[in-house]
């Protein structure tokens, strides 16, 4: 073998190694993204529970939402600045989930068929819109309700003005809360969860049972929509605990999904050195 043939073989070996190394780097980047996506879902699900629990203690949330406008406004005013900050936190602590929804599209779309990729893209749009709508709905408690509560509880406010404030509050409550946050927000997040659960059956990152869990959770959460219709249709059949149960199942599903993503990353990264060693012929 002459010098030129040896040089060509060395060049070819380096070229093949570079291609293998490039594939490993791409794979590691994808898996690192999967890990961060999982962390965002876990973090978001945990953070949401903090203001939710505080609101339950200080404001009797969510039961108080179906009380009379006068009682809600009075209790809100009694909560003061601390209650406003709790609602502000409740609106924004879900931001990691929003980022996770966007990143999950890139994690699930790579290496999948066109059908799965399209499904993930549709789910991502629904998920992003759902979370933005819910943030807008929650922020009414920060920038609208405090003003109405202050007017309503003022000793100088006349009975006629109080009645007007109650009407305004109820309109805002139905639009920002029932329509935007609870109906559109929850319905779209249910659709996102169901579509992502369907993709889990074809993804190597998850076990099939998590997809089944997500579909069941979606169904339970969907039944909570009956409570919203009951606000405008008297005696509409309602399952009392469906809202809280559906919300908790959704959060549990996200935590489990996050754990799968993080564990998949750790498992795959450990395999990378052995593959590089194999490329080197060791």
Alpha-helical (H) ranges within 61-182 are 69-92, 95-109, 114-138, 140-143, 145-153, 159-172
Alpha-carbon span 219 to 52, nearest angstrom? 23
pTM: predicted TM-score of the whole model, two decimal places: 0.83
Domain carrying residue 167: 3-280
Domain count, the chain: 1
What residue ranges of the chain have pLDDT lower than 70? 1-31, 110-115, 265-282
Helix axes of 95-109 and 186-199: crossing angle, nearest 10 degrees? 30
Q: Is residue 26 left, alpha or beta, with left meaning phi > 0 and alpha meaning psi from -120 to 50?
A: alpha
Q: Which pLDDT belongs to residue 203?
A: 87
pLDDT at 191: 98
């Amino acid at each position: 073998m002459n010098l030129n043939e040896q040089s060509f073989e060395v060049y070819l070996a380096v070229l093949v190694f570079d291609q293998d190394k490039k594939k490993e780097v791409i794979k590691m980047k994808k898996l690192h993204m999967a890990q961060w996506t999982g962390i965002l879902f876990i973090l978001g699900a945990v953070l949401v529970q903090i203001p939710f629990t505080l609101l339950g203690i200080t404001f009797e949330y969510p039961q108080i939402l179906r009380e009379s406008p006068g009682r809600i406004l009075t209790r809100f005013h009694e909560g003061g600045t601390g209650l406003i900050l709790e609602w502000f936190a409740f609106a924004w602590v879900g931001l990691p989930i929003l980022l996770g929804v966007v990143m999950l599209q890139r994690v699930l779309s790579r290496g999948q068929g066109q059908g799965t990729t399209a499904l993930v893209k549709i789910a991502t749009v629904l998920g992003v819109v759902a979370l933005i709508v819910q943030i807008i709905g929650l922020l009414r408690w920060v920038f609208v309700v405090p003003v109405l509560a202050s007017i309503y509880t003022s000793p100088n406010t006349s009975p006629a003005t109080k009645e007007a404030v109650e009407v305004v509050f109820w309109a805002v409550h139905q639009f920002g809360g029932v329509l935007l946050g609870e109906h559109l927000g929850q319905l779209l997040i249910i659709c996102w969860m169901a579509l992502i659960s369907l993709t889990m059956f074809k993804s190597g990152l998850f076990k099939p049972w998590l997809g089944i869990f997500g579909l069941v959770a979606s169904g339970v959460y969907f039944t909570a929509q009956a409570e919203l219709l009951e606000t405008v249709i008297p005696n509409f059949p309602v399952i009392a605990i469906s809202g809280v149960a559906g919300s908790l199942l959704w959060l549990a599903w996200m935590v489990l999904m996050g754990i799968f993503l993080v564990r998949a990353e750790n498992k795959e990264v450990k395999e990378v050195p052995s593959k590089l060693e194999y490329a080197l012929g060791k």
